[in-house]
Structures are given as structure tokens and as C-alpha cells.
Amino acid sequence: MKTKLSFRRKAVNAVMLSITGIFTMLAVGLLFFILGYLFVQGGFSLNWNFFTKLPAPVGESGGGMANALLGSAKVLLLATCIGVPIGFLAGIYLAEYAPPAFASTVRFVTDLLNGVPSIVVGIFAYAIIVQGIRVGFSTLAGGVALGVMMIPIALRSTEEFLMAVPGSLREGAMALGATKSRTIATVVVPAAIRGLISGMMLNLARVAGETAPLLFTALGNQFWSPGWRQPTATLPAMIYEYAKAPYEDWHRQAWAAGFVLLTLVLLVNITARSIVARGFAHKSR
């Protein structure tokens, strides 16, 4: 009886533990499957035209997505110019100045803002830019939508990395007579710079793949989009449009675009994470 019970417990132990292992393998395997599939489908669909040509008119094959690449770059540039400074400065306030109660309020609201679905942020950008200041569907509206999405993560990562800077550095600078702002600008921020840069890179990579808020802010465009007040094509929105379309050649283009987008996003992710890993391992087990 005793050995039987013990056997049953051992069996449950072995079975359950292997199941958890299998689940983990499946999750990791899925990543490699997605990567591999995109690599094969997209890699073969990719050619030089993709980077240099405008989309071909409906019914013609060939063409590329040069305008979408430029459009995405412009939207992301604008988003970075909006989201990073606000988030970064607010993060400094939270880490260096804020009284605890106010800091935790801002932190909580920031987390909520971070949880707002991207499509709702799109409606917001539509309301204030497209309709509110009557710019219409434009690069500007798309940039604002993604910029709003960048603020919460910019703030939280800035705060996290500044908090990790030892207090003795601040005390040292202040003992030498530096004002608080000078201490932050010349001692604290440089000490955390690796973390800050990698945080911003991860942030950018996250919004780079956002599609939903762009559908009705940047809208889309088959041609080049000069300036900031015209509708513009963006890479993720093009993937969506081309994947939905009933044409074989457009599917091929969608795979190629997906390949380019995923490669960029993952490269930025891996680079950013390795920058932090080389800097300081504050998240050790």
C-alpha cells in the first residue's frame, strides 16, 4: 500500500513536471515556427523593388512598398519626438523629485494609460488631430497616436533605470556643490544611460508594429506622402491591407513586408536587451 501510494505520487510528479516542460517548449517552438515561416515565405518574396518602388496598381503585379517604409519612418520619428521627451522628463520628476503620494498616483495613471487598447488611442488622435484641429488623415495624426502610446513606457523605463542609480552618486555630486538639476543632468542620467537608451528602443519597437490606431489616423496612401499633413502609407497598415486582398501577388508582398517588419522589431529588441545585459544586471534572480 505504502509503495503504491508513493509510486502514484512519483508518477504524478513526473507527469506534471514534464507537462510544464512541454508547454514551455511549445511556446518557444512557436516563436521559432513564426520566425521560420516568415523567413521562408517573406525572404523569398523579398526583392530590391520592395524597397525602391511604389505599390503597383490593382491588377498589375510587381511594385514595392517604398512609400510605406518612408511613411512608417516619419510616423515613428514624430511619435518619438512626442512620446520620449514627455515620458523621459516625467520619469525624471517621478524618480528624483516627486513626493511619494503624487508619484504613486502618476505611476498608477501611467499604467492605466499603458493598458488602454491601441485602437482607443487611435480614436483619441482622430478626435484631437483629424477632427479637432482639422488636419485630416495625416502623418501628423498617426505620429500623435503612436506618440501617446510611447509616453507610459518611456516614463516607466526612465523611472526604473534612474531608481537603480545608487544614491551615493547623487550625494557625491551634491557634496561638490552641484545643484539638483545639474546632478541629474551630469551624474544620474549618464549613469543610467544604457538602460535609458535600451528602454527607448524597446518602446519604439513596440509601437513600430502598431497597426490599429494608424488605420484611421494615417489612413494609407498608394503614393508618396509629402510633408506631414497628407495621408500616408505605413508598413503595418500595408501588411493588413495586402493580406486581406484577394490577389496572390499582394499576399506575397504582405509576407515580404511582414518579414521586414518582424526582422526590424526583433533586431531592435535583441540589441536593446543586450545593451542592458552588458551594463548592469539589476534584474538578476
Partner 1 sequence: MATATFPRARPARRASVFRRMFSADSLARAGVFLCATAILALTALLLWELWRNSALARARFGFNFLTSSNWDPVAGDFGALPYIFGTVVTSAVGLALAIPFGVGAAIFLAELAPAKLSDAMTFLIELLAAVPSVIFGLIGIFVLVPLLNRVVPGLKEAFGFLPIFSGPFYGVSLLSAGVVLSVMVAPYIISVSREVLLAVPRDMREAALALGATRWETTWHVVVPYARRGIMGSVFLALARALGETMAVTMVVGNTPQIAKSLLAPGYSIAAVIANEFAEATTDLHRSSLTELGLVLFGLTIVLNAAARLLILATGKRAGQ
> Site for partner 1 (CB under 8 A): which residue of 69, 75, 92, 188?
92
> Site for partner 1 (CB under 8 A): which residue of 40, 73, 77, 89?
89
Stretch that binds partner 1, among 68-76, 147-155, 164-172, 221-229 (CB under 8 A): 147-155
Query: Can you tell me whether residue 63 is helix, strand or coil?
Result: strand
* By CB under 8 A, residue 94 contacts partner 1: yes
* By CB under 8 A, residue 148 contacts partner 1: yes
> Site for partner 1 (CB under 8 A): which residue of 67, 72, 110, 203?
110
* By CB under 8 A, residue 82 contacts partner 1: no
Residue whose C-alpha cell reads 521560420 in the numeric block: 36
* By CB under 8 A, residue 146 contacts partner 1: no
Stretch that binds partner 1, among 27-35, 46-54, 168-176, 193-201 (CB under 8 A): 27-35
* By CB under 8 A, residue 106 contacts partner 1: yes
CB of 37 to partner 1, least distance (A): 7
Stretch that binds partner 1, among 54-62, 72-80, 186-194, 260-268 (CB under 8 A): 260-268
Question: Alpha-carbon torsion 220, 221, 222, 226, what sign?
Answer: negative
Q: Do 265 and 209 meet the contact criterion of CB atoms below 8 Å apart?
A: yes
248-279 and 193-208 helices, crossing angle to 10°: 170
- Which cell numbers in the block locate residue 105? 498616483
Write out the binding residues for partner 1, residues 175-234 only, by CB under 8 A. Answer: 179-182, 184-185, 202, 205-206, 208-212, 215-216, 219
> Site for partner 1 (CB under 8 A): which residue of 40, 73, 77, 120?
120
Residue whose C-alpha cell reads 534584474 in the numeric block: 283
Report the candidate in 151, 153, 139, 128 with the shortest Cα–Cα distance to residue 237. Answer: 139
Report which residue type is found at 41. Q
Distance CA 149, CA 154 (A): 9
Task: Find all residues with CB under 8 Å of 14, minimum gap 6, and list them.
Answer: none
Report the candidate in 112, 116, 94 with the shortest Cα–Cα distance to residue 103. Answer: 94
* By CB under 8 A, residue 266 contacts partner 1: yes
> Site for partner 1 (CB under 8 A): which residue of 31, 40, 77, 193?
31
Cα dihedral: 227, 269, 113, 241 (round 10): 50
Q: Which C-beta is closer to partner 1: that of 194 or that of 206?
A: 206
CB of 50 to partner 1, least distance (A): 16
Burial of 59 (0-12, 13-18, 19+ CB in 10 A): exposed
Query: In the beta sheet, which residues pair with residue 55?
Result: 63
> Site for partner 1 (CB under 8 A): which residue of 73, 270, 278, 282?
270
> Site for partner 1 (CB under 8 A): which residue of 118, 163, 228, 245?
118
Query: In the beta sheet, which residues pair with residue 63?
Result: 55
Stretch that binds partner 1, among 56-64, 72-80, 166-174, 236-244 (CB under 8 A): 236-244
Distance CA 79, CA 113 (A): 16
